[in-house]
Structure 1
Amino acid sequence: MIRIKVGGARLWQTGRCGDSNAGHVSAVAKEDVAMKTGLCALAITVMAGASFADNVEEGAALYLTHCATCHGIDMDGNGPMAGVLLIKPDNLLTLSQGNDGQFPLVRVIKRIDGRDPLVSHGSPMPVYGDFFEGVDVALKTPTGQPIMTSQPVVELVAFLQSVQQ
């Protein structure tokens, strides 16, 4: 006889070929598994939410430190350095509006991490590109394909997504 257990609950009790009890799952085992599955799903949701909230919070701090000088504290593109730049900084609150309601994830990532350079005042944007290097993290794009970038960029992107109007 083979017994398969998940977390102490016996799920299956199979016998020899032709055994009439083969494959039956007890009601207690079903309830135990349902409860554990629900708790695991809840824990994953809470952790993911906490992780996203942490990313947004970290991203806000990074934005104030590295981006607000050009894009402004209000994120409207009117920071104190905006007047001396050859190309006016974008209003970061309306990135989704300018892209048919879809946050331009890949374009934003590539602009921040330097893969899509923007020459403004004689140097590529971002000015702090080296800071944003680090351990790569994969983000899922709207097409389902992953894009690799660093954790600070993930945090900035989470913040930018959270403030879209």
Structure 2
Amino acid sequence: MPEHLPFRTLGAAIAAATLILATGGARAEDAGRQEYMYNCSACHGESARGDGPVARYLNVSTPDLTALARKNDGVFPLLHVIQVIDGRSGVGPHGTPMPVWGERFMKDGVEDAGPYAAEVIVRGRILSLAEYLESIQKQE
């Protein structure tokens, strides 16, 4: 039986709802914090200041993610942050070999959700992560 667009849309909605339920109904910021702690803190540190336990072993300096807005005239560069995290667009952080999280998130078992729902889940995870980073910006 051919798959129809309404079923794909329904599948995407179910996948998004599953993601929300998987985070315990948490707000996007809380889901983003969980993503950050699980996927980013090893390099960037729990404080996001670039002092994670793996950072000392890298050949590049790990940036302070709490200073992104300050370094951008006080405006958080949301789209750029999303593109860097996703990595599939070819936009990378200053030529460094940061993991391509868009691909990694896609491989986290969401491929089984189908192409449309999987993309919704991946983009949701990346957006929640970017929103978390926006919430921890320091202006000093």
TM-score class, shorter-chain normalisation, is 0.5 to 0.7
8 Å Cα contact 2:51-2:62 kept in structure 1: yes
Q: Which residues of 2 match residues 91-106 of structure 1 at below 5 A? A: 91-106=64-79
Q: CA deviation at 1:90?
A: 1.0
Normalised TM-score (structure 1): 0.54
| Range with bigger deviation, 109-118 or 152-161 | 109-118
Aligned residues: 99
1:117 aligned partner: 92
Q: Quote the sequence identity (%).
A: 35
1:10-159 matches, cutoff 5 A: 54-114=27-87, 115=89, 116-118=91-93, 119-120=95-96, 124-126=97-99, 128-133=101-106, 134-136=118-120, 150-159=123-132
SS of 2:53's equivalent in the other structure is coil
- Given that residues 132 and 150 in structure 1 are in contact (C-alpha distance below 8 angstroms), is that contact kept between their aligned partners in structure 2? no
Q: What CA RMSD, in Å, does the superposition of the two structures yield over aligned residues?
A: 2.0
Query: 1:66: Cα distance to partner?
Result: 0.3
Structure 2 counterpart of 1:56, one-letter code? E
Letter in 2 for 1:108: V
Q: What TM-score comes out, normalization by structure 2 length?
A: 0.63
Aligned residue identity for 1:135: E
Please say if residues 44 and 63 of structure 2, whose CA atoms lie closer than 8 Å, have aligned partners that are also in contact.
Answer: yes
Structure with the larger RCO, 1 or 2 (CA within 8 Å, 6+ apart) = 2
Q: Which runs of 5+ in 1 are unaligned?
A: 1-52, 138-148
Would the aligned equivalents of 1:82 and 1:89 in 2 still touch at CA under 8 Å?
A: yes
Deviations 1:90-137 (A, max 9, x none): 1111110000000011211111000212454xxx32254423343248
Q: Which amino acid aligns with 1:71?
A: H
Distance 1:128 1:113 in 2: 5
Which of the pair is proportionally richer in helix?
A: 2
More strand by percentage: 1
Provide runs of 4+ in structure 1 moved above 4 Å. none
